């Protein structure tokens, strides 16, 4: 359900029961690195532990977390997409 006037605000990842985000122009990799640092997801030899980042999306101006495909629809309707072509999934590179 789209809320009237809603826009995409930040890249976000839903992980460990929480929505993680950083101010834009942060990208999903920046959010991942923040999670790794905050949760100390490293091995003894300082290699990053791979964790499930399958729930990538965005936070909207209404404070909702939405996955990449609904985010693309919101950004298109809000005329936020700056790329000439965009896939069915939204990427932060399409916005900033």
Return the H-helix or E-strand segment holding 66.
Answer: strand 65-67
Distances from the Cα of 1 to the Cα of 26, 62, 66, angstroms: 26, 12, 10
What's the pLDDT tens digit per position in 30-53? 998 898 888 877 666 766 666 665
| Mean pLDDT score, 50-64 | 84
Nearest to 92 by CA among 32, 43, 45: 32
Provide the 10 A C-beta neighbour count for residue 76.
13
**Residues in CB range of 83: below 8 A, 6 or more apart:** 93, 94
- Percentage of the chain modeled with pLDDT above 90: 51
């Amino acid at each position: 359900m789209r809320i009237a006037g809603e826009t995409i605000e930040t890249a976000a990842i839903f992980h460990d029961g929480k929505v993680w985000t950083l101010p834009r122009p942060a990208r999903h990799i920046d959010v991942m690195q923040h999670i790794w640092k905050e949760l100390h997801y490293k091995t003894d030899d300082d290699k990053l532990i791979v964790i499930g980042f399958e729930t990538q999306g965005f936070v909207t101006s209404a404070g909702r977390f939405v996955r990449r495909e609904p985010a693309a629809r919101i950004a298109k309707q809000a005329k936020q997409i700056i790329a000439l072509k965009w896939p069915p999934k939204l990427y932060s590179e399409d916005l900033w």
